[in-house]
Chain A
Amino acid sequence: MSLRGALLSFRIQRFESTVVVFAALLSVAVSAVVITLFYGGGYASCFGNDQPVLSSLCQSTPAEWLPRIARLSLALVPIFPVIGGLLAGGPIVARELETGTARLAWSLGPSRLRWFAQRVVPIFLMFLVACFAIGVVADSLLHLVQPTVAIDGSFVGYRARGLLIPTLGLVVASIALAIGALTGRTVPTIILTLMLFGGLIAAADTVEKKVLLGEAVVGGDFQYSENNLWLDSKFLMPDGRVMSWDEVIAEHPEFNEFGWDESSGIQPVALYIPGARYHDVERREAAALLAIALAFGCLATVAVLRRRPR
């Protein structure tokens, strides 16, 4: 694949590439400014303590607005992989089929695989770089907004920062690519991709929760911190069994009427994954999502190789 081919790929998808790159650059620039002003201006000292600091610096407009901008930017981060993935992956094959340019490209180029690689690789690389940048930005902004959170050892902002941003982006883009290659229409591609991605995330959530429950730490409320990933609240019986409230009731129907008795020796506990395992869990989920993206990538390739141009 040549540089000329890659550049033409961006030209063909100029609008989408511009939007993705512009959004990423804007996000990086705004965050850089906010972070520089925040730490450089000494506003960081206003936060992270238990008591509010009542200096004039901490009551100035920037002290109020910088974290507000940071929070807003953070709230927008999870949207990026979805919208960006649709923009990057959706049109590649769908629009070429819809406008008929696939006919030209597939009759000029004997190897559809070469055409496909030339179209997909540059766009996906660009999108992944943009996602990585957004992921890093989200980490830094989270640190700014919640200084007490250990970025590398906390589930706060899970799936909305770091490595999972590019991975989720890749999943959306691959699904859009595959559906685009199958349907050959842009609008249905967007709708179906959103539906499929939603379903997939819900399913992944269920499976992941099952897996994590098997690995969960059982701890009293006091051991629980915001850095952990809370999974479920249960009850620890005096004999060591961990039960749900329904199971407890089944054994002690009287609790249902009179409420639960401290003297019974039953303790409320939380099932959670300690924050220290953040990267571990994150990487495992990233690997699973990568496999899903790969599957859709293969589906897209097969569709491109086998289908007829419209």
Chain B
Amino acid sequence: MTAVLEAHGFGKRYRRRTWALRGVELVVPEGSITALVGPNGSGKSTLIRSWIGFERATEGRLSTGGVDPQRDRKAAVERVGYVPQTPSLYRDLSVAEHITLAGTLRDGFDEAMAARYVGRLSIPLRAKAGELSGGEGAQVGLALALATRAPILLLDEPLASLDPLARREFLHLMVEAVRAAGATALLSSHVITDIEQACDRLIVLGKGHTLLDLPIAEAIAHHRIVEGPPAEAVRLAGADALIGSFPAPAGEPLSLVRTPALVPVGTEPIGRAATLEEIVIAHLAAGRRRAADAARQAEGVAA
């Protein structure tokens, strides 16, 4: 496995405020499509911006396609197609002019490909960016990023402003382009159901650090929802850990447990497979609980 995006002991603090990210250890393998999820303010955008050299690391080290984005930002940008979280098109330029502009700024930018993508998304080339809807603007941003033919795609919440159908099309286009080019993509998102279809890896960021980093198939295989009180659920499922429990509308609470992937021969797996959304939510809640416990403990020590 070759890693194209790496973070080692990475930390970022804005000015004199608290840390946005700290001690992040991540490796994104080549050819994967990775989803980066986490609550608001967990540092997803910060991490993505740092990989393209837009933010300086306060501590630790990053690697973007084998180069340190802080030392050699130019080489890092060359390897990346980026869609920022907030749309950033030139209001007065048409879509076609954006494509031309990209062509003048980047060697090897595929203008024909960009025009083709825009056409597939049925956005008129002559339309001014200022007259596009938020979602259309995001789609133009993706078309531009894809047409860079960069080996790495960093997409910061590209789905946020899209309707369900547009989300489907967008992901379809992205997956197709990434697979065709053998590229690697990392996209942050809050829409977990869509991610499940498009991505093969999942990274969950809690406040400032990684809670989960594994292939999605593995996540699904290792988590089950079991009915009953938490302790009972863990015992029944032969699980190694209880991640969290949800109140159920009727009857017993539901517990999300982590199980070994392989169940002994002849035994039926207990409960049902967890959805990705349930897994993410349970891990986020667990992360928050741990953080609160740690804070209480620190207070106790101080007192």
Contacts and interface: CB of A to CB of B under 8 A. Distances in A.
Contacts of A107: 52, 54, 77, 80-82, 84, 145
B200 interface: no
Contact of A106 (B75, B77, B103): B77
Interface residues of B, number: 34
A309 B50 CA distance: 12
Interface string B95-134: 0010011111110010000000000000000000000000
B92 A104 contact: no
Interface of A: 2, 4-5, 8, 11-12, 14, 99-111, 114-115, 118, 308-309
Contacts of B93: 8, 11-12
Contacts of B289: none
A4 B84 contact: no
Given A14-B92, A104-B84, A308-B55, A118 B141 contact: no
B93 to A, nearest CB: 6
A4 B100 CA distance: 8
B104 A5 contact: yes
Contacts of B101: 5, 8, 105, 108
B74 A111 contact: yes
29 contacts: A2-B104, A4-B103, A5-B104, A8-B100, A8-B101, A11-B92, A12-B92, A99-B88, A99-B90, A101-B88, A101-B89, A103-B84, A103-B86, A103-B88, A104-B90, A104-B141, A105-B105, A107-B52, A107-B77, A107-B82, A107-B145, A108-B101, A108-B102, A108-B109, A109-B105, A109-B106, A118-B104, A118-B105, A308-B56
Nearest to B83: A107
B16 to A, nearest CB: 17
Given A2-B104, A308-B49, 16 more contacts: A4-B104, A5-B104, A5-B105, A8-B104, A12-B92, A100-B86, A100-B88, A101-B90, A102-B88, A103-B86, A107-B84, A108-B105, A110-B74, A110-B75, A110-B78, A110-B106
A249 to B, nearest CB: 60
Nearest to A1: B104
Contacts of B56: 308
Interface in B42-85: 49, 52, 54-56, 74-75, 77-78, 80-82, 84
Interface in B238-260: none
B84 A115 contact: no
B91 interface: yes
Closest 6 CB pairs of A and B: A109-B105, A5-B104, A100-B88, A107-B82, A110-B77, A104-B88
